[in-house]
Structures are given as C-alpha cells and as structure tokens.
Structure 1
Amino acid sequence: MFIHPLSDVQSNRIGDNTRVWQFSVILPDAVIGSGCNICAHTLIENDVIIGNDVTVKSGVFIWDGITIEDKVFIGPSVTFTNDKQPRSKEYPQEFFRTHIKKGASLGANCTILPGITLGENCMIGAGAVVTKSVPDYAVVVGNPAKIIKWLNKND
C-alpha cells in the first residue's frame, strides 16, 4: 500500500496495493479494497465501502451511504449526493443509500443523485445528471440522463 505523506488517512481498513495520493482525506470507518487508486483531492467519508480495483480520480467526494463494488471507474469531479433536501445544519436520521455495481464507469463531472443503483458495467456519460437507477450494461447521457444504447456483455 502507498499513502502519500500529504494525505490524511484515518482508516486502517485499506487493502493491499491500494494507492492514496496527496490531499486526500479518508475518514476512520471507510473500507477500501485492494488494488485501488485514490487520486489527489478526494474525500471518503465513514459509511463508505469501496471494492477492489476501483479508480477514484481527482476532485471526487464520496459521502456516507455510498457502496462501490469492484472494478468501478469514477472519473474526475464526479459529484455524489446523499440528501434529497439538504439544509444547513439539518441532517436526516439516515442518509440515502447509493450503490454502484461492478464494472460501472462514471464519466467526468457527472452528478449522481441519492438513493439510486448504477447497474453492472453501465456507462455514465461525462456531465450526465443521473436522477434514477441505471440498468446493467446501459449507456446514459444528458440531463436528466437517458439511455442511448446498450453494451454487449463483452464490451
């Protein structure tokens, strides 16, 4: 495991061969698998589970309530949300759960609203605003994100 000295890694539940780059913050209860690459300028909160071989590019904040399965790619500046009606200093009793399934690929600057599932091997286009769950192998783009095609299981 490699942890850059300019990162703040409080969790001891990080798998082998994972790399954490500078200016990253990982809170104590976060779970991160092996073979991951957590790029610079990222935040991972406590109630987060990240599988193996996941790439989290720069500028991504992963909030409480998010589960990411194996081999997921999260592009630069992807935005996750976990509260449908956020208010300053007012917190829900429980945050919405968001589930990113194995092999999903999230393009740069897409926004993922809370409480949805992104299906296995789906692709989210850059800048898309995902307002509802995405099926396995679907490719979605736009605002709101719409299915434009389907991938083959070999893609």
Structure 2
Amino acid sequence: MKDIAIAGAGGLGREVLVLLHQINEVTPQWNILGFYDDDPALQQTQINGFPCLGSLTDLSQVNRELHVAVAVGYPAVKKQLVTSLQHNSCLFFPALVHPSAQPKPYQYIELAEGTLVFQGAVLTTNIRLGKHVLVYLNCTVGHDAVLENFVSLMPGVNLGGNTNLGEGAFLGANATVLQGLQIGSHTKIGAGSVVSNSIPDNCTAVGVPAKIIKHHDV
C-alpha cells in the first residue's frame, strides 16, 4: 500500500476521498493519511474520519515519499498549487481513475500524472489526457479528444469526438462541445452551454449556442 494525502479539504477533496475508497474496494493500493489545507478552521480537525495534517506549505516540505491527489477544480489555482509542490522530489502525483472508468488497453487512452477520473465518466478511444486533468462525475469524452494540462470538466460535461481543449480550459456542469471543435487555453465555458463553434484562448463563453461574453488575462 502506498501512502497518499489529499491537497484540499473542501467538497472536491471529500469526493476524492470517496474515489480513493472506491479504488481500494476493488484493488487495495492506497493508505489514505488525510488532508492538507490552508483553512485554519480545518487544522487539527477530522474530515470524514481523516485528519487535516497541516497546511499546504507543510505538504510542500514533506521529506519522505508521499503520493498526493490535488483536489482543486479551478485550473489556475490548481496549476499554482502543483507548481509549489512539484519541486519536492518526495511528492508524486498519481493518476486516479474510478474502477468503472478504468481504461482497457484496446481503448488507447493516455493518462498523465495527477489526472482524476470520477465515477460515471465514459472515455471511448484514442484519447489523451494531460497532467492534472479533472474529469468529474458522469462526463463523456469522445474519440480522439485531447485535453491539455490542467483542464477541468465539471459534472455532466459532454465532449464530442476530435475535440481539443487547451491548457487550463474550464467547462461548467453539463456543458457540451460538439465534434471537431477547439476550446482555447484558459477559456471558460459556462454551465449548460452548447459549443457549436470553436472558442479562442482567454475568454468566457456561455449560452446555447455559446457566445463569448468576456476576454480576460490568464
């Protein structure tokens, strides 16, 4: 069994805890130590039966081998946290996939470090998920899709085949991207939106069909 801790003790952190339990029920492999979080109210408390072990700074200074699940949904915050931790050679970021979504060799799916795939997700074939991608509950990802580093899909997102999501893209719950389209890096798609044309970098788009309502810096 490998020691693992969860970075972030909010709602997503508790759902990652459930994911780890679900993985262990099928193949015991993770010794869950607890959480790290910067919220002082959580320090030295029990969260769903597991302790908050310290702050994220404490985590960055761990001096023994430890696997870390980064439970942060917003891409920019997630990237900042990972950057602060990855200098520590003692820390490792495993890909964690719910047993129901575990890809088979014949699917030709690539999973990079830190990727989280939750219960109910469906990934078809020839898909590449970059580092620290979040595929939340009940998402579907079609053939030949590419999700670059730090992409986050909220629950119920549907991606058609041959879609490409740039680094740090964020898709709100139940958003749909039609086949063959691109979502730019650091672009946000609102919940329930339907993307029927490619969307460029660094903007926010909402609606059916999705329209750009704002351009923003990274």
TM bucket by the smaller chain? 0.7 to 0.9
Partner of 1:149: 214
Structure 1 residue 46 displacement after superposition: 2.2
**Deviation digits for residues 38-59 of structure 1, max 9, x if unmatched?**
1111122221000001011000
Structure 1 residue 6 displacement after superposition: 4.8
Matched-pair contact (CA < 8 Å) for 1:27–1:45: no
Runs of 4+ with deviation above 6 angstroms? none
1:120 aligns to 2:182 (yes or no): no
Structure 1 residue 27 displacement after superposition: 3.4
Structure 2 matches for 1:43-62, cutoff 5 A?
43-62=122-141
Unaligned runs of 5+ in 2: 3-19, 28-91
Between the aligned partners of 1:16 and 1:58, the Cα distance in structure 2 is 20
Partner of 2:95: 18
Partner of 1:93: none
Between the aligned partners of 1:47 and 1:36, the Cα distance in structure 2 is 16
Structure 1 residue 22 displacement after superposition: 4.2
- TM (norm. structure 1) is 0.78
1:31 counterpart (110, 131, 141): 110
In proportion to residue count, which structure has more helix?
2
Structure 1 residue 23 displacement after superposition: 2.5
Identity among equivalent positions (%) equals 29
Segment drifting more, 19-28 vs 107-116: 19-28
Structure 1 residue 16 displacement after superposition: 5.2
Secondary structure of 1:114's aligned partner = coil
Between the aligned partners of 1:31 and 1:78, the Cα distance in structure 2 is 19
RMSD of aligned alpha carbons: 2.1
Give the number of equivalent residue pairs: 132
